[in-house]
């Protein structure tokens, strides 16, 4: 990895990073500030209990929403995971095609660096951005809880951020595998968003019966159900293994393929 190449990739992604992160953090803070108006509302809790079946398809248990940490897991966490997953898939999937679209691919790969150095420098930049977003999300959720509600377990907020981070790593890995087939940044963006949405809606089938429930198991979003995180205060070893494994596999395969690809 090269510092100057990492800086180039960070500069290339700065607009999408800043805009996306601001939108995400504002949303997280606003929902965190609203927590007590829901968790302390008896009528709202009764309504949520009546919709228990629908909530379960999102990995949400109505009882968990009686605390601030449960509220974060049930509401802001969903958008956090969706957006971070989409950013990851798009950034990873377009890391080569974006250079072609901008006309900088020939210059980039003519620099005195190996293709692996170029690729791993880009991957390092993506990891930095994803880590920053996950970290800021944790801080914003914590601060909103301190200001507007009551945080009883900071560790749960950290685990929720870690769960989203692991899922983002998996989408980074999948995105790197896409670099062999996408020919433009627009295509990479469409595929990345589509992949995240398909995974999300597959996860909604978790409460269905038969083949539909089996299909839901293939969704990355089912690896860390929010209700399980709140109730068990831990991440599953299987989920961590699968998400980190996908990330590492994507890095290895993409680096290997890039060295043999006609650019």
pLDDT digits (tens, 9 = 90+) for 104-130: 767 667 777 788 888 899 999 999 999
Q: Which of 20-24, 214-218, 227-231 has the lowest mean pLDDT?
A: 214-218
State the pTM of this model.
0.87
State the average pLDDT over residues 241-246: 95
Q: Which of 58-62, 97-101, 153-157, 210-214 has the lowest mean pLDDT?
A: 58-62
Q: What is the pLDDT of residue 56?
A: 54
The structural domains of the chain, with segments of one domain joined by +, span: 3-258
CA 180-182-183 angle, 5° bins: 110
Reference 88, options 57, 118, 136, 132; nearest CA is 132
């Amino acid at each position: 990895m090269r510092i100057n190449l990492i800086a180039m990739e960070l500069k290339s992604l700065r607009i999408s990073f800043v805009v996306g992160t601001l939108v995400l953090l504002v949303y997280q803070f606003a929902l965190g500030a609203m927590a007590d108006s829901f968790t302390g509302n008896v009528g709202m809790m009764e309504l949520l209990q009546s919709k228990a079946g629908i909530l379960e398809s999102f990995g949400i248990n109505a009882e968990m929403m009686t605390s601030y940490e449960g509220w974060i897991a049930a509401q802001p966490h969903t958008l956090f995971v969706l957006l971070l997953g989409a950013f990851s898939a798009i950034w990873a999937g377009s890391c080569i095609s974006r250079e072609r679209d901008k006309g900088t691919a020939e210059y980039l790969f003519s620099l005195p660096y190996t293709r692996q150095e170029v690729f791993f420098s880009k991957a390092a930049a993506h990891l930095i951005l994803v880590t920053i977003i996950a970290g800021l999300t944790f801080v914003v959720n914590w601060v909103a809880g301190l200001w507007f509600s009551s945080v009883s377990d900071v560790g749960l907020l950290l685990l929720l951020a870690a769960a989203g981070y692991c899922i983002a790593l998996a989408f980074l890995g999948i995105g790197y595998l896409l670099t062999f087939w996408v020919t433009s940044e627009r295509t990479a963006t469409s595929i990345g968003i589509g992949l995240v949405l398909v995974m999300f809606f597959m996860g909604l089938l978790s409460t269905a019966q038969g083949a539909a429930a089996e299909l839901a198991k293939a969704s990355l979003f089912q690896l860390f159900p929010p209700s399980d995180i709140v109730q068990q205060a831990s991440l599953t070893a299987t989920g961590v293994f699968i998400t980190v494994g996908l990330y590492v596999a994507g890095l290895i395969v993409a680096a290997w393929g890039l060295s043999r690809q006609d650019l």
